[in-house]
Structure 1
Amino acid sequence: MSQSIRQGLSTVPELDDVQFSRWQGLLEERTGMYLPQERRSFLQTSLGLRMLELDIRDYAEYYDKVQDGPSGMMEWSTLVDRLTVQETRFFRDDDALQLVVEHMRKLRPRLQVNDETMEFWSVGCSSGEEAYTLAMLAEENLGSADIKYSVTGTDISTIVLRKARSGRYPLRALERIPVSYHNWAIEPLSSQQVEIATDLRRRCCFSQVNILNLKHCPLNSQHVIFCQNVLIYFRRWRRREILDALAQRLAPGGLLVIGLGEMVDWQHPLLESLHSGQVTAFVRKSTSTGESARR
């Protein structure tokens, strides 16, 4: 953070208990995200930076602004982009990705017989590294067998989705991508930037989805739902609601992967837990078994 920005933030007042509670409640109401007291400084800095840009020095004034009709919703969207952007990278969790690879190989015969497209969903995809990682793994394990696949990445932030759609990343992103993938998965743009290969980008699409409104999301019959490092931002009861909704969107035999420890006591009648000390994952039962269990 530059010296001028620090000086600007020093002119913004402290976020007191009343204002923190108001903003905390609004954020949870609209996005489901819960910010505990420990993240008060993060909220204060995020609000303060945006208020400086708008030449606003009062939290209450800015609070009213984000609730003022259509212009308020546009401003709210801008603020949410600032509050929800998460750090991510390619090939982030080796154990979870290996489980996805094993799942692909298990489903491969069925997909070939039925001429079925394997569907992947990256929930909370941020700037797209996770979605493109899944596409690379799918290309390596399904492409040679002429099995079609597609990857959908969803996020609430429009800013990170624009970056994901571009498929362009700094050169240092290559550090996490296996060297054997470089010649077919990556295209150099400059000495400082690379781009995901065109064929992989065509397999991926990105869409804005508020995880509170999954009932309006058109994605169904997914073979893999990857939802890591997303649930930690929600209260436990809401985590259950989100997972219940995701379970309904798995295809029979589909795999749901969540972050290790994000939800240790959740069960669903349609799913079977996969026992692993390194990954928290579930597989949807066959239709008949799952429907019987639900009844």
Structure 2
Amino acid sequence: MNHQLRAGLSTIPEMDDTQFGRWQNLLEERTGMCLAPQRRSFLQTSLGIRMREVGCDSYEEYYQRILSGPVGAIEWSTLVDRLTVQETRFFRDPDAFAFVEQYVQQKAADPSTESVDLWSVGCSSGEEAYSLGMIAERWLTPAGKQYAVTGTDISTIVLRKARAGKYQGRALDWVPADYAGIGFKEMAPGGALEVSDRLRQRSCFSQVNILNLSASPLQSQHVIYCQNVLIYFRRWRRREILNVLAERLAPGGILVIGLGEMVDWQHPLLEPVHSSRVSAFVRKQANSTGETARR
């Protein structure tokens, strides 16, 4: 840490229990995210840096600014970007992506399938969504099938990066060799990595607050990928989120979540996938009477 940054952090005021609880409640009320007490220092640093940027001397002053009409709404959006950006990478969970790949291969071989829709929930800067796109491109396009990938996130900053589709060259380290040539253009001078035009044309990124999923127009998705998202929410809210996602699956579609994110959840439309390496569910097919049937 350089001297200037260290000096700046030293001026950040201490956050007491009352202040932390107030900000904790506001964040959960507006985004659903539950900030654990162990993350107080993270919140204090994030708020303190932003307060210094906008000229606020206390947490109370900044809190009131957040609540002050349209100006406060803009400031809140900026703060949420600071607090919710999470680390990600291409093909972050190899077992989960292998499961998705197996499903996409089945859809590619199915004569009744014309197109496949894939949704990355909490897509961050786009690596997860483009990983899904690479799988779809590899197996569906040669089979004459269409596909579309949608990435959603609450942060406008990461969504801009996702739409740009440009990454550091070292991001390629996480991409399996079979996909490197499918997903990217040739590396530009200086080591910049750029997603292929074909993948970008078939990918859409949109701002969505996960608390408002019920208002999302996305329906009949074949793949819903929601990893490393639920861990930031209380258990009752995780159930609410998953219940909405279950209803957005197409019959036979798959929902993939992170291992251990929700171990006791069940839904009448879904069947769990019995695996020690992947936490996933399959939506039951509808029978001739319109009722769900076991797969």
TM-score of the superposed pair, with normalisation by structure 1: 0.95
Q: Which residue of 2 aligns with 1:258?
A: 257
Report the CA distance between 1:179 and its aligned residue.
Answer: 2.8
- Conserved 8 A contact 1:9-1:52: no
- Rounded Cα–Cα distance in structure 2 between residues aligned with 1:173 and 1:12: 34
Q: Which residue of 2 aligns with 1:286?
A: 285
What SS is found at the alignment partner of 2:23? helix
Q: 1:235-283: CA deviations, max 9, x gaps?
A: 0000000000000000000000000000000000000000000110000
Report the CA distance between 1:106 and its aligned residue.
Answer: 2.0
Aligned counterpart in structure 2 of residue 131 of structure 1, from 129, 140, 143:
129
Letter of the 2:122 partner, please give it: G
- Conserved 8 A contact 1:284-1:290: no
Which of the two has greater helix per residue? 1
Letter of the 1:222 partner, please give it: Q
- Rounded Cα–Cα distance in structure 2 between residues aligned with 1:275 and 1:29: 35
- Rounded Cα–Cα distance in structure 2 between residues aligned with 1:168 and 1:146: 28
Report the CA distance between 1:57 and its aligned residue.
Answer: 1.8
Change (3 A) 1:183 1:103: closer
**Which aligned pairs between 1:118-267 and structure 2 lie closer than 5 A?**
118-187=116-185, 188-267=187-266
Q: Which segment is superposed worse, 255-264 or 99-108?
A: 99-108
Change (3 A) 1:252 1:27: same
- Conserved 8 A contact 2:152-2:206: yes
- Rounded Cα–Cα distance in structure 1 between residues aligned with 2:2 and 2:148: 41
Q: 1:109-145: CA deviations, max 9, x gaps?
A: 43x435x210000000000000000111111111110
- Conserved 8 A contact 1:9-1:49: yes
5+ residue gaps, structure 1, are none
- Conserved 8 A contact 2:12-2:45: no
What SS is found at the alignment partner of 1:146? coil
Letter of the 2:212 partner, please give it: N
Letter of the 2:214 partner, please give it: K
What SS is found at the alignment partner of 1:143? coil
Change (3 A) 1:101 1:181: closer
Letter of the 2:201 partner, please give it: R
- Rounded Cα–Cα distance in structure 2 between residues aligned with 1:11 and 1:171: 36
Are 1:72 and 2:68 matched, yes or no?
no
**Which aligned pairs between 1:51-62 and structure 2 lie closer than 5 A?**
51-62=51-62
Letter of the 1:40 partner, please give it: R
Aligned residues: 291
- Conserved 8 A contact 2:148-2:203: yes
What SS is found at the alignment partner of 2:57? coil
Report the CA distance between 1:149 and its aligned residue.
Answer: 0.5
Q: Which residue of 2 aligns with 1:40?
A: 40
Report the CA distance between 1:185 and its aligned residue.
Answer: 2.1
What SS is found at the alignment partner of 2:67? coil
TM-score of the superposed pair, with normalisation by structure 2: 0.95
Q: 1:153-183: CA deviations, max 9, x gaps?
A: 0000000000000000001011111233333
Letter of the 2:158 partner, please give it: V
Letter of the 1:127 partner, please give it: S
How big is the alpha-carbon RMSD for the aligned residues of Structure 1 and Structure 2?
Answer: 1.4
5+ residue gaps, structure 2, are none
What SS is found at the alignment partner of 1:257? strand
Report the CA distance between 1:9 and its aligned residue.
Answer: 2.1
Q: Which segment is superposed worse, 220-229 or 97-106?
A: 97-106
- Rounded Cα–Cα distance in structure 2 between residues aligned with 1:77 and 1:290: 43
Letter of the 1:233 partner, please give it: Y
- Conserved 8 A contact 1:89-1:129: yes
- Rounded Cα–Cα distance in structure 2 between residues aligned with 1:124 and 1:184: 23
Report the CA distance between 1:290 and its aligned residue.
Answer: 8.3
Percent identity of equivalent pairs: 63
- Rounded Cα–Cα distance in structure 2 between residues aligned with 1:183 and 1:119: 22
